[in-house]
Chains A and B, each alone.
Chain A
Amino acid sequence: MTSSQPIDLQNSTIASASQQPLWKQEGAEPFLRIENVTKKFDDFTAVDNISLDIYKNELFCLLGGSGSGKSTLLRMLAGFESPTSGRILIDGIDMAGIQPWNRPVNMMFQSYALFPHLSVADNVAFGLKREGVSRSEVKQRVAQMLDMVQLGHLGKRKPHQLSGGQRQRVALARALIKRPKLLLLDEPLGALDKKLREETQFELINIQEELGVTFVVVTHDQEEAMTLATRIGVMNHGVIVQTDEPHDVYEYPNSRFVAEFIGSVNLFEGKVIEDEPDRVRIESPEAGATLYVNHGISCAPEQIVHVAVRPEKIKISHNRPQQQDNCIQGEIEDIAYMGSLSVFRVRLPNGKEVRVTQPNFTRSMGDRFTWNDKVFLCWDEESSVVLTA
């Protein structure tokens, strides 16, 4: 066991080096290509000139608030809406004029849209029957699919006799039975309670990997997007603001919108006073300090920028720490004990509020700080991100 492990590890690193994710490979053929797609409803622009490439076997999440245009984009992929301008290509085929019932795409609806007059098995069989598949094959494939979503014993039930989680799985089975090349999921976990959602997330990833179907998921829930996705496209006002892997979207947001939409963040406005290729110094009256970042940014001299620091990257202490840069002082105004971590709201002398989270390493952690404590807040020079947009 111990002797074979290093070899395995090595093998897997070699494999992953040669099999970089498709979106990082130069010239890789996208499976789904969205080209300058715009959708207007009267004079309201729901989707504004979006271009996006999604590759085979991806689990791509479109993340955005309500009215960001994510659902409209999904409905255009399914064929329920047609773009005002632009093209959608699936597997190299232009989808213009191809009706929903002829597309190699299936959709799982937010409301699940199970047919209430049909049994679970008939719901799942619906798509196959439209294709004219033989009766015995329908029966066999339905049974197989129901087993996969662990509903083999409930085939005869009607949808209203099922729990929310079971309905969700019937909807998934029904959408997958035609073996679509592309599966669209509209808020797939939105109607489930928190515990069930966490279990289902991993089930969904397993099924996606097992079947090798490309998934496009629409969600407003950033946690859901972070766990599910291979890549996330953050949408706002009909535009994709950033497309990146979950880790990069969180750690390297490209704008204030993304930084604030995904997780919580502290933003300090400031002016660039030292701009070198390997470091930047920013004078921030809002933070009451000069902030130092150990990487260069592209900006004009003396440009007004924002420094973003995630609450969990800030260390909180009573004593003045040794580090010189990126240290600010404040007073604890509020503490929220969340069990696994504590959230502090610290007020700076200039009135600015800073959010800090600390994991509770030990049981007595929570008692170390109390209201109105004078504290120092510090972070590493590589922990912050400078946002110019």
Chain B
Amino acid sequence: MKRRSIFLNVSAGFGFLFLYAPIIALIIYSFNKSKLVTVWGGWSLKWYAELMQNEQIINAALLSLKIAFISASLAVVLGTMAGFVLSRFGPFRGKMILSGWITAPLVMPEVITGLSLLLLFVAMEGMFGWPSGRGTGTIIIAHTTFCMAYVAVIVQARLSSMDETLEEAAMDLGAKPSSLFFLVTLPLIAPAIISGWLLSFTLSLDDLVIASFVSGPGNSTLPMVIFSKVRLGVTPEVNALATLMIAVVAIGVIAAMFQMRRQARLLAKPE
């Protein structure tokens, strides 16, 4: 095996330290017995127990999961359609603009996305009376909008690396275009769709900024609740909650990565 230089080892070490030291500190302190966040008082699970008693947090968590589930599912449908158009329509007038538009939400500052969506919702309410007020529905719409961009990019990448003769082979063997999609194309891009869904789910679960703009009273998502609690001072309870969220997000991201790798293996072209 090739020997790695000391420099590489050190820089990798520093990189990981910067990334994960705060998270590890947070996880450790979530098991702190003491009520004071900065004083170590021995190991305990009591903040987790207290967290389970806190109805406000439980409700917020459930709402967040519901929003994440629905918007990830919607984003997958819309994003797959967009990805299809981008990779399959061949060159058409305005393709550059369309692909630019679809990927813009990836780089757009969240504050701007949130603000523009809020303005749109308010204007629409004024004009057609829908959506009446802001709440879960508007958060779902907003999350679907930006998650869709991620799904579109993932699906497009998968489709363009897929061998198009596979679809021709299916047609040649008697598959009509209508069944072709479900028999060949969908199974082949399924891993991309699944990883797109998982990514959307985590992104939606994480989002604070956009949700703050478009949610209404009584519809606080979990990150919003945490943020408002932290403003009043950090409690060990929040540490416990944050640890749980890290776990959920980590599982989502790892599962998405796993899917992508499985797919890469499946579609690897024979040498």
Contacts and interface: CB of A to CB of B under 8 A. Distances in A.
Nearest to B269: A111
A167 B187 CA distance: 20
Contacts of A130: 173-175, 179
Interface in A109-156: 109-111, 113, 115-117, 126-127, 130-131
Contacts of B175: 101, 126, 130
A212 interface: no
A113 B174 contact: no
Contacts of B13: none
B262 to A, nearest CB: 11
B171 A101 contact: yes
Contacts, number: 66
Contacts of A99: 171, 176
A78 to B, nearest CB: 6
Interface of B is mostly: helix
Contacts of A175: 172
B168 A100 contact: yes
A160 B268 contact: yes
A101 B163 contact: no
A41 to B, nearest CB: 13
Contacts of B179: 130
Contacts of A80: 168, 171
A116 B263 CA distance: 10
B266 A126 contact: no
A213 to B, nearest CB: 15
B166 interface: yes
A101 B175 CA distance: 6
Contacts of A178: 173-174
B253 interface: no
Contacts of A164: 270
A100 B172 CA distance: 5
Contact of B171 (A100, A110, A160): A100
Contacts of B268: 160
A126 B175 CA distance: 9
Contacts of B166: 113, 115-116
B260 to A, nearest CB: 15
A71 to B, nearest CB: 12
B174 A111 contact: no
Interface in B154-174: 163, 165-166, 168-174
B165 A106 contact: no
B188 interface: yes
Given A116-B267, A117-B266, A160-B266, A174 B165 contact: no
Given A115-B184, A116-B267, A109 B174 contact: no
**Highest count of chain B CB atoms <10 Å: which of A99, A101, A110:** A101
B172 A111 contact: no
**Highest count of chain B CB atoms <10 Å: which of A107, A110, A113, A164:** A113
A5 to B, nearest CB: 46
B4 interface: no
B188 A107 contact: no
A116 B166 CA distance: 9
Interface in A161-186: 164, 167, 174-175, 178
B93 interface: no
B173 A109 contact: no
Interface of A: 78, 80, 99-101, 105-107, 109-111, 113, 115-117, 126-127, 130-131, 159-160, 164, 167, 174-175, 178
Interface of B: 163, 165-166, 168-176, 179, 183-184, 187-188, 265-268, 270
19 contacts: A78-B168, A80-B171, A100-B168, A100-B172, A101-B174, A101-B175, A106-B173, A109-B168, A111-B163, A113-B163, A115-B184, A115-B188, A116-B188, A126-B173, A126-B183, A130-B174, A159-B270, A160-B266, A175-B172
